Amino acid sequence: TYTDNILEDYVYYAIDRIKDKYGGFCKLDPSKYDELLKLGDDVNSYALEMYERYPTLMETHFGGSQRATVAAATTGIAGSMATGVADCGLNLWYLSMLQHKERTGRLGFYGYDLQDQCGSANSFSYRSDEGLPAEIRGPNYPNYAMNVGHLSGYSGIAKASHVARGDAYTANPYIRVAFADPSLIFDFANITKEIGRGGLREFVPAGERTAVIKG
């Protein structure tokens, strides 16, 4: 999913739009929901249009779920960077999914009809699990069965708000959970490369997870 600089191209487009419309990161007032929706419409339309315009993108992201995740991640990252608030980005993730479903008729795997179409109702409400701030919610709970692709997209939304604000550190639970093993070396300066290594099963577990994985 995260190959060939496709997601990067979409995000660069979003960054250009944010700078042109709002003068930089974190300049969009999170309470201006109409403006947030306009940004989401713009970025998501660009991402989906690129799949329709260039057949090679469809060949690279041959699964509907791949396209849905990349378009939603792009839209969510745009919301996070424009406002500096991860919850705004998360809401645009769901906006992207709903628009994608309406535009193409389906998103991909059947699971996308669950977590990716039911989150709009709780993305701005702080209730247990589903409505917690993105930085402190876990990756799996009753109506969210997050897979590898989802976790990468979700963590990007939470991280984007911190990057836009210039934070030196983020207490993101996805990073804590995924890389809790001290023997697992992950180069955070080359994220795309490391995700590719994970897909090729190049990481060798050690410590607490060895027995579980070998079992």
Q: Look at residue 30 in the predicted model and tell me its pLDDT.
A: 94
pLDDT bucket at 110, cuts 50 / 70 / 90: low
> For residue 125, is pLDDT > 80?
no
Domain count, the chain: 2
Tell me the pLDDT band of 214, cut-offs 50, 70 and 90: low
**Which pLDDT value is given to residue 45?**
97
pLDDT of residue 205: 59
DSSP 140: E
Residue of 73, 63, 57, 69 lying closest to 11 (CA atoms):
73
Q: Which domain holds residue 205?
A: 179-215
Has residue 60 been placed in a domain?
A: yes
- Mean pLDDT is lowest, of 51-60, 119-128, 137-146, 150-159, for 137-146
Is residue 193 within 8 Å of 187, Cβ to Cβ? yes
Same domain, 27 and 64: yes
Same domain (yes/no): 162, 190: no
User: Is 1 within a domain?
Assistant: no
Using 50, 70 and 90 to split pLDDT, how confident is the model at 149?
Answer: low
pLDDT in tens, 52-98: 999 888 888 877 778 888 999 999 999 999 999 988 998 999 999 99
Please list the residues that pair with 140 across neighbouring strands. 145
pLDDT at 8 over 90: yes
Residue 28 CA from chain centroid, whole number: 20
| Residue 104 and residue 75 share a domain | yes
Q: What is the mean pLDDT of residues 123-143?
A: 63
> Is 213 domain-assigned?
yes
Q: How confident is the model at residue 127 (pLDDT cuts 50, 70, 90)?
A: low
Residue 195 resides in a domain: yes
**Tokens at 104, concatenated:** 């193409």
* CA of residue 146 relative to chain centroid, distance: 11
- Give residue 13's pLDDT: 98
- Residue 163's pLDDT is 87
As a whole-number percent, the residues of the chain with pLDDT over 70 amount to: 70
- Provide CB contacts within 8 A for 69, sequence distance 6+: 1, 149, 150, 152, 153
Q: Are residues 139 and 164 in the same domain?
A: yes
The reply to whether 97 and 188 lie within a common domain is no
Quick check: 206 pLDDT over 60? no
85 within a domain of the structure (yes/no): yes
Tell me, what CATH number does 50's domain have? 1.20.840.10
What's the confidence (pLDDT) of residue 96?
A: 94
What is the rounded distance in angstroms from the CA atom of residue 199 to the CA atom of residue 81?
28
Residues 157 and 189 in one domain: no
Indicate if 202 and 112 belong to the same structural domain: no
The answer to whether residue 77 sits within a structural domain is yes
Does pLDDT of 113 surpass 70?
A: no
Residues 43 and 147 in one domain: yes
Does 150 lie in the same domain as 67?
A: yes
Q: pLDDT of 163-199, one tens digit each? A: 898 875 555 666 656 655 555 677 766 778 888 887 8
Residues 204 and 103 in one domain: no
Q: What is the dihedral of CA 59, 54, 155, 176, to 10 degrees?
A: 40
Distance, first Cα to last Cα, the chain: 29
